[in-house]
Amino acid sequence: MKILVTGAAGFIGSHSAKALLARGDTVYGIDNFNDYYEVEQKEKNAENLNVFRVDICDEAAIDKIFAELQPDVLLHLAARAGVRASIADPVLYHNVNVLGTNILLDACRKHGVGRIVSASSSSVYGNQKKTPFSETDETENPISPYAATKRAGESLAYAYSKMYGLQITCLRFFTVYGPSGRPDMAPLMFTKAIDAGETIKRFGDGTSMRDYTFIDDIVSGIVSAIDHPFNFEIINLGNNKPEELRVLISTIEKNLGKSAKIEELPMQPGDVEMTYADITKAQKLLGYNPQTTLEQGIEKLVNWYKK
Catalytic residues: 146
Between CA 304 and CA 133 the distance in angstroms is: 31
State the angle between helix axes of 294-306 and 186-196 in degrees (0 to 180), rounded to the nearest 10. 50
Judging by DSSP bridges, how do beta strands 2-6 and 73-76 pair with one another?
Answer: parallel
Quote the CA–CA distance of 37 and 242 in Å, as a whole number. Answer: 26
| Contact between residue 184 and residue 11 where contact means Cβ atoms under 8 Å apart | no
Query: Nearest-5° angle of CA 121, CA 127, CA 131?
Result: 85
Cis bond leading into 71, ω under 30°? no
d(CA 11, CA 262): 27
Contacts of 3 (CB under 8 A, 6+ apart): 20, 25, 26, 27, 28, 71, 72, 73, 74, 75, 226
